[in-house]
Amino acid sequence: MTVRAYVALGSNWGDSASLVGRAAEVVASLGSEARVSSLYRSAPAGPIAQPWYVNAVVGMDTVWTPDILLRHLWAVERRFGRWRHAHWGPRLLDCDLLLYGAWVVDKPEYLVVPHPRMTARRFVLEPLAEIAPEIQLPDGRRVRDLLRKVQDQEVERLWP
């Protein structure tokens, strides 16, 4: 059985644009029929002063379960030198499983799908809407409608 999964990528350490672009290719290779959004630049969230982020979203069909896919995403983070320094702090690479078909996963210790903060983050919704404009969350809300509610957040498309 294949399921359409969506993964958010972000970086604000080093050559973030290059790193997110290369990481998106690796994440896309974890499935088939992959689509990769443009790169977007966004202001950091949280209490720590830090550089702006570069973000993208990858959509793909996968045969991996959500748990196994998440483990593959952690391996991608490690491959690109991810280290966990400070919560809400600068990131070399962050890979978050946003959606996994219509599944709802609630394992708060390590995996919650849909991603619990995605609906309030334009830097996630903008690239997701670019590659899947009609996508809905399991509760029926449309990403394009959620995106309208966060237009006040500063996000800039860098390039396709």
CB of 94 closer than 8 Å to CB of 77: yes
Residue 65 CA neighbour count, 13 Å, CB half? 4
Q: Which residue among 4, 96, 142, 144 is the active-site one?
A: 96
Q: Which amino acid is at 129?
A: A
Nearest of 150, 152, 140, 45 to residue 88 by alpha carbon: 45
From CA 108, how far away is CA 54, in angstroms rounded?
Answer: 26
DSSP symbols for 109-136: TTEEES-TTGGG-HHHHHHHHHH-TT-B
Is 157 labeled as catalytic in the residue annotation? no
From CA 136, how far away is CA 103, in angstroms rounded?
Answer: 12
Is 91 labeled as catalytic in the residue annotation? yes
Is 82 labeled as catalytic in the residue annotation? yes
What is the set of active-site residues? 82, 91, 94, 96
